[in-house]
């Protein structure tokens, strides 16, 4: 069975050891898992967020795990998961349009931030982690994994960080289960990437109903909103200085002093987060620390939160 192709030797060995399946079998199992997501994820996630969601299975791919990750949209967020007695390492990914759209909808913006594809902010990564938990829970409901254990996931991270995060995990043949989620006019892809050695041994079971009603549904939405508000945001303060001629500026040296613009009055300071203006403040001092005292807000609490999230 030896060939001149190292990659072919690897594939033959993987097939002999049960770590690589034939295309028809892999496709069938992926379709079964995709069917679970199509039937449960929209109701589970959409119902708890009070959002109109649609989830459809759009196919599968087979390749080395590193190759499948490399094919993902660069504007994607990932997590590495494990489930005891089933799989030590699987990957979940979602395109960044989805967490951005979810947060926008939570804040009353049904345009979903117009389908932005930028890298997620720290706040949006927190939300992505919570969404991944729901995606993993739907998976858990439809597979046989003895012991009643729940999936464990690392914090969500940007696609560009995956090589470092995955460095100690052996690369192996895997399959990607691909789903498309649509929120209003915005859509993005979610993928589950599973080693084929695990996939081929997976037993699909009748999924448990995961939908929550009433108080439980509101509690999960409240958890998302609290997560947004607990996230750390870096603040920056800007103080206007007196204008100087270009010649004077070019001659400045260590020890020279530039006066504040508001000489003889309370020095005004603009405080922003993510480049978005939040407060007009007064510059001051408390003991050994310099401080700013809020004098005027740039908007309501919800308006301020929305501006920060859009940064």
Q: What are phi and psi of 111, to 5 degrees?
A: -80, -10
Could you give the CA distance from residue 175 to residue 63 in angstroms, rounded to a whole number? 7
Model pLDDT for residues 223-239, shown as the tens digit of each residue: 666 665 665 566 778 88
Nearest C-alpha neighbor of 38 from the set 178, 220, 195: 178
What is the token pair recorded at 281?
A: 């403040």
Q: How many percent of the chain have pLDDT more than 70? A: 78
Look up the pTM and report it. Answer: 0.69
pLDDT at 1 over 50: no
What's the confidence (pLDDT) of residue 287? 79
Could you give the CA distance from residue 47 to residue 311 in angstroms, rounded to a whole number? 28
Q: How many percent of the chain have pLDDT more than 90? A: 35
Model pLDDT for residues 247-298, shown as the tens digit of each residue: 888 888 888 888 888 766 678 888 877 666 778 888 887 877 888 888 887 7
Could you give the CA distance from residue 257 to residue 121 in angstroms, rounded to a whole number? 37
What's the confidence (pLDDT) of residue 135? 92
Residue in the block written with tokens 């995955």: 166
Which segment of 135-139, 205-209, 264-268, 307-311 scores lowest on mean pLDDT? 307-311
The average confidence (pLDDT) of the chain is 81
213 pLDDT band, cuts 50/70/90, is: very low
Q: What are phi and psi of 294, to 5 degrees?
A: -65, 125
In the DSSP assignment, the letter for residue 288 is T
Could you give the CA distance from residue 20 to residue 16 in angstroms, rounded to a whole number? 8
Could you give the CA distance from residue 248 to residue 297 in angstroms, rounded to a whole number? 35
212 pLDDT band, cuts 50/70/90, is: very low
CA distance between the termini of the chain: 56
What's the confidence (pLDDT) of residue 302? 62
35 pLDDT band, cuts 50/70/90, is: very high
What's the confidence (pLDDT) of residue 55? 92
pLDDT at 138 over 70: yes
5 pLDDT band, cuts 50/70/90, is: very low
The more confident residue out of 77 and 48 is: 77
214 pLDDT band, cuts 50/70/90, is: very low
pLDDT at 210 over 80: no
Model pLDDT for residues 64-113, shown as the tens digit of each residue: 999 999 999 999 999 999 999 999 999 999 999 998 888 877 766 665 55
Domains (range + CATH), the chain = 6-230 (3.40.1550.10), 236-309 (2.30.330.10)
């Amino acid at each position: 069975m030896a060939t001149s192709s190292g990659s072919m030797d690897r594939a033959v060995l993987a097939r002999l050891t049960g770590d690589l399946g034939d295309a028809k079998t892999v496709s069938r199992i992926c379709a079964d898992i995709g069917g679970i997501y199509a039937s449960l994820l929209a109701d589970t996630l959409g119902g708890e967020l009070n959002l109109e969601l649609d989830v459809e299975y759009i196919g599968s791919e087979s390749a080395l795990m590193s190759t499948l990750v490399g094919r993902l949209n660069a504007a994607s967020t990932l997590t590495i998961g494990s489930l005891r007695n089933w799989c030590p390492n699987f990957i979940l990914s979602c395109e960044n349009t989805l967490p951005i759209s979810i947060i926008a909808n939570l804040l009353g913006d049904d345009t979903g931030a117009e389908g932005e594809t930028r890298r997620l902010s720290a706040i949006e990564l927190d939300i992505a982690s919570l969404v991944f938990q729901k995606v993993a829970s739907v998976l858990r409901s439809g597979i046989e994994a003895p012991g009643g254990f729940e999936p464990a996931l690392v914090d969500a991270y940007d696609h560009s960080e995956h090589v470092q995060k995955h460095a100690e995990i052996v690369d192996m043949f895997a399959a990607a289960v691909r789903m498309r989620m649509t929120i209003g006019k915005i859509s993005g892809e979610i993928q589950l990437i599973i080693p084929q050695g695990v996939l081929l041994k997976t037993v699909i079971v009748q999924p448990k109903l995961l939908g929550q009603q009433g108080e439980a549904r509101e509690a999960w939405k409240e958890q998302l909103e609290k997560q947004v508000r607990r996230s750390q945001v870096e603040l920056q303060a800007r103080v206007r200085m007196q204008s100087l001629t270009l010649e004077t500026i070019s001659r400045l040296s260590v020890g020279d002093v530039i006066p504040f613009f508001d000489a003889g009055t309370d020095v005004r300071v603009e405080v922003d987060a993510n480049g978005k203006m939040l407060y007009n403040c007064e510059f001051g001092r408390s003991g050994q620390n310099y401080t700013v005292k809020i004098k005027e807000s740039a908007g309501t609490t919800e308006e301020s939160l929305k501006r920060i999230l859009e940064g």
